[in-house]
Amino acid sequence: MNRFSERLAAEGLKLRRARPEILQVNVGKLCNLTCTHCHVNAGPKRKEIMTRATIDRIIDWLAKTDIPTVDLTGGAPEMIPDFRYFIERVRALRPWRKIIDRCNLTILLERSYEGLAEFLAAKKVEIIASMPCYSPRNVTAQRGEGVFDGSITALRLLNKLGYGVAGDMPLHLVYNPVGAFLPGPQAELEANYKRELAEHFGIVFNKLYIITNLPIARFAAFLRHNNKLDAYMELLINAFNPATVEGLMCRNTISVGWQGEVYDCDFNQQLDMQWRNGQPIFLWDVDPEKVLDREIMTGEHCFGCTAGAGSSCGGVLV
Ligand code: SF4
Ligand code: SF4
């Protein structure tokens, strides 16, 4: 037992799977950025990317289910050679599925990605874009030089295409703290973002999702380097909120890695906590009907999802 599962037991709580509603596919670790908080350790030199053969096996599996949402993440998911192929194959499925692209914005402006934003718009792909602050200083600290200006240019392009404006083209932004602290209230921050981005840049968007930084990968290394890892863990543990457990994303999301491996969430994926049944399990080994009530694999990093108002890929939980 880890400290998280002990805490659940002490609260009389169980963390088990509900019906899968989201297939979150991490297509690889390749990215054009190297952000300090990245839980994937992604970057331009990473070689791990999903092949077309793996995409085909995932789509064949998905076609036999009624899972309504496909959530593409990375790295920068757009950088794998078969990104558009993946989306076109999901679009051809019946019933229709919602597709989400978790986009770092700057990739939309990179050379050789021309027409990508237009492609996403044409395929009605929902965009969830990282934007850690509306102030250039904080974005530069977390994501690097030039990222703020690039993000603003990309957001303007997306607005021009109808994102954040038309009802069927949602554009959501993601905030995560620039440092070892918990995020503030989502509604307040969303109002600030909307006001600042509209006033200074003429940008509109739908929702702001707040995500707590989990103490793993590059963010854990950053905390360790600054001698703040223990204090951050204590902060998360002390802020444990039992009301968040029912809505944790690991309950309704199946997380898939670039080779088709299966995990309870993208964080567990980065910690190599692959589903096993004696041997490692891949998506095509999973019977979706048998996922219900499966026990979720946890670790101390899970305190990042249950602190305060909770945290998930869709923002706060309570
Ligand atoms: S946080 Fe996102 S944009 Fe930044 S390096 Fe990681 S995957 Fe790339
Ligand atoms: S890290 Fe969060 S989403 Fe993942 S298993 Fe733990 S509580 Fe669930």
SS (H, E, C) 267-284: HHHHCCCCCEECEECEHH
Distances (CA, A) of 157 to 147, 199, 201: 15, 17, 12
Output the pLDDT for position 286: 97
With a 6 A CB cut-off, is 80 part of the ligand 2 pocket? Answer: no
Torsion sign (Cα): 257, 242, 128, 96? positive
Q: 107-124 burial by CB neighbour count: b if 16+ within 10 A, else e? A: bbbeeebeebbebbbeeb
Kindly give the distance from the C-alpha atom of residue 171 to the centroid of ligand 1, in angstroms, as a whole number. Answer: 18
Closest-CA residue, ligand 2 atom 1, reads: 302
Q: Which residues contact 103 (CB under 8 A, 6 or more apart)?
A: 76, 77, 78, 127, 128, 129, 130
**Could you tell me which of 256, 233, 236 has the C-alpha nearest to residue 244?**
236
Query: How many CA atoms lie less than 13 Å away from 189 in the CB half-sphere?
Result: 22
pLDDT in tens, the chain (318 residues): 899 999 999 999 999 999 999 999 999 999 999 988 788 889 999 999 999 999 999 999 999 999 999 999 999 999 999 999 999 999 999 999 999 999 999 999 999 999 999 999 999 999 999 987 888 888 888 788 889 999 999 999 999 999 999 889 999 999 988 889 999 999 999 999 999 999 999 999 999 999 999 999 889 999 999 999 999 999 999 999 999 999 999 999 999 999 999 999 999 999 999 999 899 999 999 999 899 999 999 999 999 999 999 999 999 999
With a 6 A CB cut-off, is 142 part of the ligand 1 pocket? Answer: no
Kindly give the distance from the C-alpha atom of residue 214 to the centroid of ligand 2, in angstroms, as a whole number. Answer: 10
Cβ atoms 287, 254 nearer than 8 A:
no
Q: 185-195 burial by CB neighbour count: b if 16+ within 10 A, else e? A: ebeebbeebbe
Cβ atoms 265, 253 nearer than 8 A:
yes
With a 6 A CB cut-off, is 147 part of the ligand 1 pocket? Answer: no
C-alpha R_g of the chain:
19
Output the pLDDT for position 146: 86
Query: CA 299, CA 161: separation in Å to the nearest integer?
Result: 42
> Does the predicted TM-score (pTM) go above 0.75?
yes
Output the pLDDT for position 307: 98
- Mutate which of 265, 274, 316, 317 for ligand 2 pocket (most atoms within 8 A of beta carbon): 265
Ligand index nearest the alpha carbon of residue 45:
1
Output the pLDDT for position 1: 85
Kindly give the distance from the C-alpha atom of residue 301 to the centroid of ligand 2, in angstroms, as a whole number. Answer: 8
Query: If DSSP codes are grouped into helix, strand and coil, which group holds residue 109?
Result: helix
With a 6 A CB cut-off, is 36 part of the ligand 1 pocket? Answer: no
Q: Which residues contact 152 (CB under 8 A, 6 or more apart)?
A: 201, 203
Ligand index nearest the alpha carbon of residue 16:
2
Output the pLDDT for position 312: 95
With a 6 A CB cut-off, is 268 part of the ligand 2 pocket? Answer: yes
